[in-house]
C-alpha cells in the first residue's frame, strides 16, 4: 500500500495536479494498526501495509509540493468494513499529537462506531458539537487548524430542534463539514448531494472559514458518463466544495484528466470571494439554473441538463437580472462580448458552465405579487393544517393529499409561481432517493406539472424555502384561477409541506 501511495503522490505532481491547485494529499481509513501505541497511547500505524510508517510518505508529499492530511474517527472504532480499527473517542489529545508529529495540516474526522455495536448511525444525536469539538480542541492545541467534520449530514438534535452540520460544525472550529451522506458512484448520488447543498448555499452557511464538503469526486471511476462527470465536477467546483480526487490519476484517461485539470473551473472553485452558486430556478425533469458572485464583480453561471437527452441549452441572461456581459465558456474556452444570452450543445445530464465579466444589470423593478396562504386553501385527501414558526402566517399545510387554491389572480398567462414550502426529509446513501419531494401542480384543471422540491433544511417548523420558482401556464388573465397541488410522484411518496404561493399581480 505504501508503494501505491508513493506512486499516487508522484503521479499527482508529474501530471500537473499540484500545479493546477490540488495541494492536500490525505490518507483515509485503513492506515491504523489494530492496537494503539503502548508508549504514547496514540493510534499506531499498520506496519504490514506501511512498514516504514507514514513519515516518509508525508515527507514525499511535501517534497512534491503538497501538504499532508490525516484521517481519524470520533468513535470507539473507525470506519472499516472488514475488521474495525481503533477510533479517537477518548484519545483525542494523544492522536492529535501524533498527527502533528507527521506534519499534518488537515484532518478528516469521521463518525463511525460512536458505540461499538453501530457502524454508521444515521439517527439524530445530541452529542455532535461536544464529541467533535473535543477533537478540534486537541488539533488546534497541536497547531492543526484545518479539519473536516465527516458526519454525513446526520441531524443534530439541539434544544431548538434538528440542525444540519452547517449550523453546528463551524461553532466548534471545523473548517469544512460533510453536507451529506457518502457519495456513491452514480448520477442519482450526484443529484442527491446537489439537492442537499442548495438550501445551505441559499442560507449563506458555506464559505470562507467553513466550507460545505460534498464528498469525493467520482470522475474517472467508470460509472458516470462523460457528460455526467463534467456536470458532477462543475457542480462541486461551483458549489465551492473541496475537490478531492478518488481515481488513479496515473492511469486516468485523457477525458478524465481534461475534467480534473480544467483550470477555468478550478479558478471558480478557488475564487477568493468563496461564495457558491445558488439555485436560481428549477424546471423539474428538464434543467436547473445556478448563478453566484465572484471576486471583482464577475458571475459564475451553471445550467445542468436533467431531461436525459442531448440538445442545445440556452442561458437567457435576463433570467439572472443581467442585461449584457462578456462570456467565457468554462469547458471550451470560447468567448463572446456584450452578450445577452449563451447557447451550447450538451449531452444527456451535461451542462453549460460560464464565467461572466463586465456585467451590466437590468433595472427592472421587482414585480408586485399576490400571495395566497395554504391554510386558507381547500384541503382534501388527508391534508391538514399545522403550526409552523417559520411560516408567514404561523401555519402550513402538511400531509398533502390535495391542496387547492382558488381565486388566484395574475396578469400573466405563463408565470413563475413562488412556492414557500418546508421539506426536512433528509435522505442518505444507498437508497436511490434524491433529497427532493415531489408534487403534481395543475392550473385550472390543465395538464399537471411534476415539481421536485429540494430539502429546505432539517427543521420542519422553521426551515422554509422562500420563493421557489415554478413556471406554470394556463392562467386566465381576466378572471380568477385555480391551482391544485397533489402530493407525491414517482420520485417520492410524499409532497413537502406548503406555507403559501405567490403569483405576479
Residues noted as catalytic:
110, 182
Q: Which residues pair with 278 in a beta bridge?
A: 291
- Nearest one of 421, 459, 453 to 435, comparing CA atoms: 453
Give the span between the Cα atoms of 488 and 285, in whole angstroms: 15
Give the span between the Cα atoms of 410 and 417, in whole angstroms: 10
Angle at 102 between CA 175 and CA 29, to 5 degrees: 65
- Nearest one of 354, 497, 327, 352 to 423, comparing CA atoms: 497
Q: Write out the three cell numbers for 378.
A: 381547500
Query: Rounded to 5 degrees, what are φ and ψ at 35?
Result: -130, 155
Q: What is the dihedral of CA 42, 46, 47, 53, to 10 degrees?
A: -60
Q: Write out the three cell numbers for 423.
A: 421539506
- Nearest one of 158, 151, 105 to 132, comparing CA atoms: 151
Query: Rounded to 5 degrees, what are φ and ψ at 287?
Result: -165, 155
**Under a CB-based contact definition with an 8 Å cutoff, are residues 485 and 400 in contact?**
yes
- Nearest one of 409, 417, 382, 416 to 497, comparing CA atoms: 382
- Nearest one of 450, 447, 416, 417 to 436, comparing CA atoms: 450
How far CA 53 is from CA of 57, 59, 177, 269, in Å, comes to 8, 11, 28, 34
Give the span between the Cα atoms of 344 and 382, in whole angstroms: 45
**Under a CB-based contact definition with an 8 Å cutoff, are residues 178 and 203 in contact?**
no
Q: Which residues pair with 67 in a beta bridge?
A: 24
Residue 326: strand, helix, or coil: strand
Other CB atoms within a 10 A radius of the CB of residue 378 amount to 12
- Chain centroid, CA 224 distance in Å: 18
Amino acid at each position: 500500500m505504501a508503494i501505491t501511495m508513493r506512486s499516487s503522490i508522484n503521479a499527482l505532481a508529474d501530471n500537473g495536479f499540484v500545479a493546477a491547485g490540488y495541494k492536500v494529499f490525505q490518507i483515509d481509513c485503513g492506515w491504523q494498526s489494530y492496537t494503539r501505541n503502548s508508549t504514547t497511547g496514540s493510534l499506531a500505524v499498520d506496519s504490514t501495509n506501511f512498514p516504514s510508517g507514514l513519515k516518509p510518505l508525508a515527507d514525499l508529499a511535501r517534497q512534491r509540493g503538497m501538504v499532508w492530511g490525516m484521517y481519524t474517527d470520533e468513535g470507539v472504532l473507525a470506519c472499516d468494513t472488514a475488521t474495525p480499527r481503533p477510533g479517537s473517542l477518548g484519545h483525542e489529545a494523544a492522536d492529535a499529537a501524533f498527527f502533528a508529529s507527521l506534519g499534518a495540516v488537515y484532518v478528516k474526522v469521521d463518525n463511525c462506531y460512536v458505540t461499538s455495536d453501530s457502524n454508521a448511525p444515521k439517527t439524530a444525536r445530541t452529542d455532535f458539537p461536544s464529541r467533535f469539538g473535543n477533537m478540534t480542541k486537541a488539533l488546534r492545541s497541536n497547531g492543526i487548524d484545518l479539519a473536516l467534520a465527516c458526519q454525513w449530514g446526520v441531524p443534530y438534535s439541539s434544544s431548538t430542534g434538528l440542525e444540519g452540520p452547517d449550523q453546528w460544525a463551524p461553532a466548534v472550529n471545523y473548517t469544512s463539514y460533510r453536507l451529506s451522506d457518502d457519495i456513491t458512484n452514480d448520477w442519482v448520488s450526484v443529484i442527491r448531494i446537489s439537492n442537499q447543498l442548495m438550501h445551505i448555499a441559499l442560507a449563506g452557511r458555506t464559505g470562507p472559514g467553513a466550507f460545505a464538503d460534498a464528498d469525493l469526486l467520482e470522475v474517472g471511476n467508470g460509472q458516470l458518463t462523460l457528460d455526467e462527470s463534467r456536470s458532477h465536477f462543475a457542480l462541486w467546483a461551483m458549489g465551492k466544495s473541496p475537490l478531492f480526487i478518488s481515481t488513479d490519476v496515473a492511469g486516468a484517461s485523457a477525458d478524465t484528466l481534461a475534467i480534473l485539470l480544467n483550470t477555468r473551473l478550478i479558478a471558480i472553485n478557488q475564487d477568493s470571494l468563496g461564495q457558491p452558486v445558488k439555485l436560481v430556478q428549477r424546471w423539474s425533469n428538464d434543467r436547473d439554473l445556478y448563478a453566484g458572485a465572484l471576486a471583482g464583480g464577475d458571475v459564475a453561471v451553471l445550467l445542468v441538463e436533467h431531461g436525459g437527452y442531448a440538445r442545445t441549452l440556452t442561458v437567457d441572461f435576463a433570467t439572472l437580472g443581467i442585461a449584457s456581459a462578456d462570456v467565457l465558456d468554462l469547458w471550451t474556452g470560447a468567448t463572446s462580448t456584450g452578450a445577452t444570452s449563451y447557447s451550447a450543445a450538451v449531452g444527456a445530464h451535461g451542462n453549460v458552465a460560464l464565467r461572466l465579466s463586465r456585467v451590466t444589470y437590468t433595472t427592472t423593478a421587482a414585480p408586485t405579487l399576490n400571495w395566497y396562504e395554504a391554510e386558507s386553501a381547500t384541503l382534501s385527501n388527508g391534508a391538514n393544517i399545522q403550526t409552523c414558526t417559520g411560516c408567514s402566517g404561523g401555519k402550513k399545510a402538511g400531509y398533502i393529499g390535495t391542496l387547492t387554491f382558488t381565486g388566484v389572480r395574475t396578469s400573466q398567462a405563463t408565470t413563475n409561481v413562488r412556492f414557500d414550502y418546508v421539506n426536512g426529509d433528509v435522505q442518505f446513501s444507498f437508497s436511490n432517493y434524491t433529497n427532493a419531494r415531489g408534487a403534481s401542480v395543475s392550473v385550472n384543471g390543465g395538464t399537471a406539472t411534476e415539481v421536485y422540491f429540494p430539502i429546505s433544511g432539517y427543521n420542519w417548523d422553521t426551515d422554509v424555502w422562500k420563493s421557489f420558482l415554478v413556471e406554470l401556464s394556463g392562467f386566465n388573465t381576466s378572471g380568477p384561477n385555480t391551482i391544485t397541488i397533489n402530493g407525491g410522484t414517482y420520485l417520492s411518496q410524499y409532497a413537502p409541506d406548503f406555507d403559501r404561493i405567490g403569483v405576479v399581480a
